[in-house]
Structure 1
Amino acid sequence: MSHSDSDLFLQQMADVTPLKQDAVSTPTSNAKNALSNFYKQQSSKQISLLNDALSSATVEYVEPDDYISYKSSGLQAGVFKNLRLAKYDIDGKIELQGHSIKEAQDKLIQELSDCHRRNIRVVLIKHGVGKENAEQPAKLKSHVNAWLVHFPFVLGFHTAQTHHGGYGAVYVLLSKNEQAKLANKEIHAKK
């Protein structure tokens, strides 16, 4: 701006008063504690329901070298293909090998629920192949296959690529948690 433009601008703006900044309120510690307690209650209720569902799940045994796979009806084919082909970053890992069926069930419920609560979207679960179990090959793999469909936040799963464990592991895609869904709605509402 030239000197005369600057003077003209200042003359035009002479009667303008600055806007007052609204005070921004932040949640109190009581509100944060109440929200935290709510999520803990929801989590323990969900874990109890999952325990019941997994304990009564019908297990159809698979072979050690079988693929295990599941796609929920709402999951887009392209997203499922990308999961299957390991195109997404693995954000979490759960190691179930070496655990009894009950230990593996408890660990899967706790850790997968925790992943969902923390908004982790892709988890690699290592269940092993189970070839060494002469009595019931692929026992843990078969249970994991039967269990995962009972998690309300599991959108899909598929046997992992060789470099991630192949037949002894599975990629699991989790839905966004409620906080992430709400944040997403707020972002899109502002557009």
Structure 2
Amino acid sequence: MPRRSDTLKSLADLGSVQRTLSEQRAREAEAAAARAAIAQKRAAEQDLFSRAIGATQPLKRPAAVPLAPEPPAPIPVQHQLDEQRVLRESLSDEFDVTTLLDVDDAMSFRRSGIGTDVTRKLRAGEWSIQRQVDLHGLRSDEAREALGAFIRTAYKQGMRCVRVVHGKGLGSPGKQPVLKTKTQRWLIQKNEVLAFVQAKPAEGGAGALVVLLAPSKR
């Protein structure tokens, strides 16, 4: 049979546990009440905001038009073709050069208004040769276009003195310097050309011309 003191002790422990549980339930109830109050306050604020601004509807997104990337600049094909056509038409194989060439101990050409001192200085090498084109092995039409393009480019780049190698014609039918004669005709028709002389032996001799170009206007 349990003693009276043990029974009283067990009852005291049970009462302590009950008080602890009661306090815990009270704290939980307070926490739940606090959360409910916060939620109610937020709902009231949201309701107040809704009443203040009235009915709302989502904004419509403006219609978007996809923009294609800017196309690349067109290649001026027609302009290039026109330039080639003008080049072909501007250099004639039938141009008469007999009245324009100075025939002396060494053939030379100088445009009207250009003094004989210019051709003399060209022969003496007082202008440094800045660039050259070699027409060897080209057909007549190829040589004409190559020469025209070379002179035009050299002039645009500010070149003053160039050399044109046309060969001596030793491989031509009948040993006639056909390309040499045509080269002279073509050069005389180019406005960029002020004068030309036969090259010195060390620079090609009868197979080349030293050409003086007008100052570029660039």
TM-score w.r.t. the length of structure 2 is: 0.55
> Could you tell me which of 124, 127, 130 is aligned with 2:163?
124
Q: Does structure 2 conserve the Cα–Cα contact (< 8 Å) formed by 1:69 and 1:158? A: yes
Match of 1:57 in 2: 94
Q: In 2, Cα distance between the equivalents of 1:104 and 1:94?
A: 10
In structure 2, list runs of 5 or more residues that go unmatched: 1-75, 99-104
User: What does 1:19-58 correspond to in 2, within 5 Å?
Assistant: 48-55=85-92, 57-58=94-95
Match of 1:19?
A: none
SS at match of 1:55: coil
Equivalent-residue separation in structure 2 for 1:156 and 1:148 (angstroms): 9
- Identical pairs, percent: 27
1:101 aligns with: 140
Q: How far apart are the structure 2 equivalents of 1:53 and 1:142? A: 17
- Distance in 1, matches of 2:142 and 2:216, equals 25
2-side partners of 1:44 and 1:93: how far apart?
25
2:91 alignment partner, SS class: helix
What's the CA shift for 1:67?
4.4
Match of residue 192 from structure 2: 153
Q: 1: CA distance between counterparts of 2:178 and 2:97? A: 10
Unaligned segments of structure 1, at least 5 residues: 1-36, 180-191
Larger Rg: 2
In the alignment, residue 181 of structure 2 is paired with which amino acid? S
What residue in structure 2 maps to residue 177 of structure 1?
216
1:33-90 per-position Cα deviation (integer Å, ceiling 9, x unaligned): xxxx9xxx7x9866643421213533679xxxx9442111122322221012222100
Q: Return the alpha-carbon distance in structure 2 between the equivalents of residues 172 and 74 of structure 1.
A: 16
| Distance verdict in 2 for CA 1:46–1:87, change over 3 Å | farther
Q: Considering only aligned residues, what root-mean-square deviation do their CA atoms show, in Å?
A: 2.5
Partner Cα separation in structure 1 for residue 107 and residue 95 of structure 2: 15
- The number of residues matched between the two structures is 135
Q: Which one-letter code corresponds to 2:95 in the other structure?
A: T
Q: Which amino acid aligns with 1:54?
A: L
Compared CA separation, residues 73 and 108, structure 1 to 2 (3 A): same
| Structure with bigger RCO (C-alpha 8 Å, 6+ apart) | 1
Range moving further from structure 2, 81-90 or 152-161:
81-90
